[in-house]
Amino acid sequence: MGEIVKLLRVQHYIKNLFIFLPLLFSFSFADTESIRDTFFVFLLFSLLASSVYIFNDFLDINEDRAHPTKKNRPLASGSVSKKSGVLLIIALSVVSLGLSLLQSTTLFGILLLYFVLNIFYSIKLKHIAILDIFIIASGFVLRLEAGSSVADIEPSMWITSMTFLLALFLALAKRRDDVLLALDGQQTRKNIDGYNLEFVNASMVLMAGVVIVSYIMYTISPAVTARLGTEYLYLTSFFVILGILRYMQITFVEENSGSPTRVVIKDTFLKLTIFFWLLSFVGIVKLT
């Protein structure tokens, strides 16, 4: 059972917290129906994401066996059989997509698009440099849209842009780790020839800058200040900048950016930064 849980990559469900962003930025905390439906979507998206992770692992068994850490994944190590993996892919995807259709056709369409896009990503598109990280980032936007669809909240262009750009930033950090492994003689991805340190470093700096600018533009936009009733939301950008710089420090100085999920879960500095960002965001809106 422990290996099955490991195969599902439950720790990666933290990515699906993006589903809650529409509720957070709209301050719809009193709408119990929207909160309940959003939790339901979080569960469905998590199950569907697990089916995609397993499918990707199934295709990558040989490549993962050559990777210093991925070789310990259940399918690559043989602790879970290929047959069990296929059965899980079918069961998780059918349950998730089936229940989403019962919720709404819009939600079903979003989850189906995520599933199909990632199936093609796993088969072919992940081997095309640049396009691969764009598909990863698009997955985060679809999470945002899934949360919006059940909460009946239209995400602003700034929230959508920030989600996409932040996801690109994190995907680039992950590719940087692959580049470092390739330089060390461990070729773990077919598309790694489309990246080098200079390109990835410059791209990360670019993405970091536009994420910060997008967030500041969001906090000072007339629509947001009018809706939330405060002109001081820009002060929360302090923690956004702090978090971005800390992640860049982990990537460039500590060279430990292989798994964004693991970084966020294990790094106390980042967790405190996110906590104080949330605290300041809610506090400014409620007290001003």
Reported as a single tens digit per residue, the pLDDT across 10-58 is 989 999 999 999 888 887 766 788 899 999 999 999 999 999 999 988 8
Buried b / exposed e over 130-169, threshold 16 CB at 10 Å, is eebbebbbbbbbbbbbbbbbbbebebbebbbbbbbbbbbb
Percentage of the chain beyond pLDDT 90 is 61
Together in a domain, 160 and 59? no
Task: For residue range 223-232, list pLDDT tens digits in order.
Answer: 889 888 899 9
Cα–Cα distance measured from residue 6 to residue 76, given in angstroms and rounded to the nearest whole number: 12
User: Any idea what DSSP says for residue 155?
Assistant: P
Model pTM? Answer: 0.89
Q: Among 125, 155, 185, where does a domain finish?
A: 155
CB 13, CB 261: distance < 8 Å: no
Domain final residue pick, 155, 178, 210: 155
Measured between alpha carbons, how far is 153 from 147 in angstroms, rounded to an integer?
Answer: 8
Mean pLDDT of 232-251: 96
Which residues span the domain enclosing 88? Answer: 1-155
Say if residue 103's pLDDT is above 70.
yes
Instruction: Report the CATH number at residue 67.
Output: 1.10.357.140
Q: Which of 214, 203, 137, 145 is nearest to 171 (CA)?
A: 137
CA-CA-CA-CA torsion sign (81, 117, 135, 35): negative
Q: Is residue 277 a contact partner of residue 24, using CB atoms and an 8 Å limit?
A: no
174 and 237, same domain (yes or no):
yes
Terminal Cα-to-Cα distance of the chain (whole angstroms) = 50
Region 165-183 average pLDDT: 90
Show the tokens assigned to 14: 């933290």
How far apart are the C-alpha atoms of 82 and 257, rounded to whole Å? Answer: 29
User: Do 263 and 146 belong to one domain?
Assistant: no
Residues 120 and 191 in one domain: no
Q: Which of 90-94, 124-128, 137-141, 273-277 has the lowest mean pLDDT?
A: 124-128
| Domain end point (choices 155, 178, 196) | 155
- Assign 206 to helix, strand or coil: helix
- Co-location of 82 and 143 in the same domain: yes
Same-domain pairing of 252 and 274: yes
> What is the distance between the alpha carbons of residues 140 and 206, in angstroms, rounded to a whole number?
19
Matching residue, tokens 């490549």: 63
Section 211-239 average pLDDT: 92
d(Cα 49, Cα 46) in Å, to the nearest integer? 5
Residues 134 and 181 in one domain: no
The total of structural domains in the chain comes to: 2
Q: Identity (one letter) of the amino acid at 160?
A: T
Of 165, 142, 161, whose CA–CA distance to 19 is shortest? 142
Answer yes or no: are the C-beta atoms of 137 and 154 closer than 8 Å: no
CB contact at 8 A, 137 and 36: no
